[in-house]
Amino acid sequence: MAQGSSSDGVGRLSGKVAVITGAASGIGSGTAQRFVAEGARVVVADLQGDQGRELAASLGEAAVFAQCNVTKEDDVAGAVDLAISTWGRLDCMFNNAGVVGVVGPIAETPLEAWNETMDILLTGVFLGTKHAARVMTGQGSGSIINTSSTAGIMGGLGPHVYTAAKHGVRGLTKSVANELAQHQIRVNAISPGNTVTAMTAAVATGDHTDVEKASGHIAAGSPLGYAGFPEDIANAALYLASDESRYVSGHTLVVDAGQTSSGMTPNRFHTGSATVHRHAGGREDL
């Protein structure tokens, strides 16, 4: 039985409908699985078609797949509309898709690479928030969750553009929470610390498939002495999507083993030549 599921089919998200971007892998995949285990129905929205369809199929009638490039408004709007046409409502929008993006010294960062990274990490969150609000305002309810990062809490934990975008996600979250509160819509962010995914494996080891080695690297830098995994972030998203967080809005929930409290700021992204960092599997977040 999946973690958090109950034998009588009633869970913490029973009857709720969610759209999750970047849902085919990493944090998004872990969250989709946890949401379904807790009774939700989920639109698995991702650029990775084969992987996304496979995940949706594995979740049965509780999930459908939407091909979604979060930099394209029609794709994001389509994922939201699919939730409505399939299940008649939208209770949670988890704007999670992301990449590391361009890495290197600021003086060598190409404008095109800056724009590409910002489009995925910040514009994608804007589009998901916009189209969730379009539906949720009419409902008079909903929870919007945006993936920021510990790089959005302090400097030195990520590349320059990634850091700027993730700070922007937190700012957008606070601003929109203020607007949408009158419609009973809550808007929050999650700031994960290093989490074992294909993307962090690519950064830590140069091989997006070597998650075991990445886990060791991440554990070594964790104040708690062990690595974080997608299910740890999924648990935070579950809380923010559920009615248990009914009085929480405009908040950034940091899930980082205390890293941002300890002042651990390894500066490893700002040397060498500027490059755009992607892993072979597609887009997902740290």
Strand partners, 85: none
Q: What's the pLDDT score for residue 282?
A: 44
The values of phi and psi at residue 226, to 5°, are: -140, 160
Amino acid at 259: Q
Q: What's the pLDDT score for residue 9?
A: 55
The values of phi and psi at residue 95, to 5°, are: -85, 95
Q: What's the pLDDT score for residue 5?
A: 43
Structurally, the chain folds into a number of domains equal to: 1
Q: Which two tokens stand for residue 102?
A: 């361009």
Give the HSE-up count for residue 259: Cα atoms under 13 Å, Cβ half-sphere. 30
Domain that holds residue 23: 17-193+228-255
Residue 248 lies in a domain: yes
Low-confidence ranges of the chain (pLDDT < 50): 1-8, 201, 207, 279-286
Residue 62 lies in a domain: yes
Q: What's the pLDDT score for residue 275?
A: 65
End-to-end CA distance of the chain: 27
Residue 125 lies in a domain: yes
Q: What's the pLDDT score for residue 157?
A: 86
Here the CATH number for the domain that contains residue 104 is 3.40.50.720
Residues annotated as catalytic are 149, 162, 166
Mean pLDDT, the chain, integer: 88
Q: What is the pLDDT of residues 149-181, one digit of tens each?
A: 999 999 988 999 999 999 999 999 999 999 999
Residue 1 lies in a domain: no
Residue 246 lies in a domain: yes
